[in-house]
Amino acid sequence: MAGGCAYGVSAYLLRRDNPRLKWGAVALMGITGMQWVEALLWLDGPKPHGVVNQLLTVGLIPLALLVQAWGPLFGSTFELPVRPRRWPFFALLIVGLTFVVLARGVMQPTHTQVTPQGHLNWWSPLNPPVYPPWAYGLWGVVIGAPFLLWWRPFWQALLIVSWGWFWATVSFIFADSAASHWCFFVSFYAAFVLANGARMEGIEAEIFFTFFGLEAIHKEKLEHLHVATVGNPAMHIPTLIGGLPGMESLATNMMKKEMEKLDLPGVEEFIDILDASGVKMWACKLAMDMFHYKKEDLHPAVSEVITVGDFYKKGSGLGTHMLFI
């Protein structure tokens, strides 16, 4: 599902006559390619095993890692010629290849195993995988380097890579297979690429908030959103532990600190950025009535309270695309 979402958006962006969007599309395809390999592994059964598992582990996983590094790099050629920047370009090309070869040589994985939390991870009977934080961080730098070096304005480049680095940090803290966990969440980076690309091309972009999504635009609640530790499969915390007093506050504070380290904007600031860029925001009337909210309770950037039917009418024109998240 995540891979299909990312590749569907990429296919759409590649058809646009905008080199920046094509760069983002190729980068997205490279970064999320691992989702397809994991999908093939899961087809081998609930606990992947056997010859298929070995072939995918030894062959396709290193290739998927390589395209994670090379996707953003080759994508940049849509906008910038290689010759004027050939030294850093080929340096990144070699660094990405060297990193994958070393990882394959040092770890010597023979199978992909299912971790206790239900993720997939390389495994070797001689050398169980242990990824030091510096290696994990270095890989994130290699993937994000093309954006930081050549995507301008720089604040956009920083915002792009911050999404990946943020989820990399969260995955490393909470998951027992940080790489697999990170790949899944970065796949939904497609939504950011699509919305940002739409505004770059002057295409209208609109967001429809319904049910609990209304809290993201409620003036008194938008800066007090919590990370759910119960009923949230992405947290990978047992329900018994997630329900303990203080766990939700602890997880929320940890998330906020990581966002601050990455200099990510708060919810209200992000809404202001969207509003300034011309994104229209709507609130669902049914959900508003259910929660007894009024229009004046919402952020000023929200244009109007409308029904689902009204939103569908707004999106009924030729060439309209809807993305549900």
Per-residue pLDDT of 32-87, as tens digits, reads 888 888 888 777 765 667 788 888 888 888 898 899 999 999 999 999 999 999 99
Q: How confident is the model at residue 304 (pLDDT cuts 50, 70, 90)?
A: very high
Decide if 191 is inside a domain. Answer: no
With respect to residue 93, please indicate whether it lies within any of the assigned structural domains. yes
Decide if 216 is inside a domain.
yes
122 vs 289, residue with greater confidence: 289
Which pLDDT score is estimated for 13? 76
The domain of 93 spans: 2-176
What is this structure's pTM?
Answer: 0.58
Residue 45 has φ and ψ, to the nearest 5°, of 125, 170
Give the pLDDT confidence score for residue 37 in this predicted structure: 83
DSSP-assigned states of every residue in 102-171: HHHHHH---EEEE-TTS-EEEE-SSS-----HHHHHHHHHHHHHHHHHH-SSHHHHHHHHHHHHHHHHHH
In a domain, 239, yes or no: yes
Please report, for the domain that includes residue 239, its CATH number. Answer: 3.40.1260
- Locate tokens 């002057």: which residue? 202
59-63, 106-110, 318-322: the lowest-pLDDT one: 318-322
Is there a domain that residue 323 lies in?
A: no
What percentage of the chain reaches a pLDDT higher than 70?
75
Q: What is the pLDDT of residue 130?
A: 62
Predicted pLDDT of residue 314: 79
In a domain, 324, yes or no: no
Percent pLDDT > 90 in the chain is 17
Strands 111-114 and 302-306: unpaired
pLDDT of residue 187: 57
Residues 247 and 130 in one domain: no
Do 307 and 168 fall into the same domain?
no
Residue 287 scores a pLDDT above 70: yes
At residue 161 the predicted structure's pLDDT band, cuts being 50, 70 and 90, is: confident
Question: Is 123 a residue whose pLDDT tops 80?
Answer: no
Residue 137 lies in a domain: yes
Q: What are phi and psi of 234, to 5 degrees?
A: -75, -20
Environment class of 245 (CB within 10 Å of its CB; exposed 0-12, middle 13-18, buried 19+): exposed
**Tens-digit pLDDT profile for residues 173-219:** 777 776 665 665 555 455 555 555 666 666 777 888 888 788 888 88
CA-to-CA distance for 253 and 257, rounded, in angstroms?
6
Residue 235 predicted with pLDDT over 70: no
pLDDT, mean of residues 99-125: 78
Both tokens of 25, joined, read 């599309």
Collect all residues with Cβ–Cβ distance below 8 Å to 214 and sequence separation of at least 6: 283, 284, 287, 288, 291, 293, 298
Answer yes or no: do 15 and 159 share one domain: yes
Domains in the chain: how many in total?
2
Q: Summarize pLDDT for 224-234 with one digit per residue, the tens.
A: 776 666 555 55
- Distance between CA atoms of 6 and 3, rounded to whole angstroms? 5
More confident position, 94 or 155? 94
Same structural domain for residues 40 and 137?
yes
**Residues 144, 14 share a domain:** yes
Position with higher pLDDT, 249 vs 275:
275
- Say if 322 falls within a structural domain: no
Query: What pLDDT does residue 242 have?
Result: 58
- Same domain for 63 and 142, yes or no, is yes
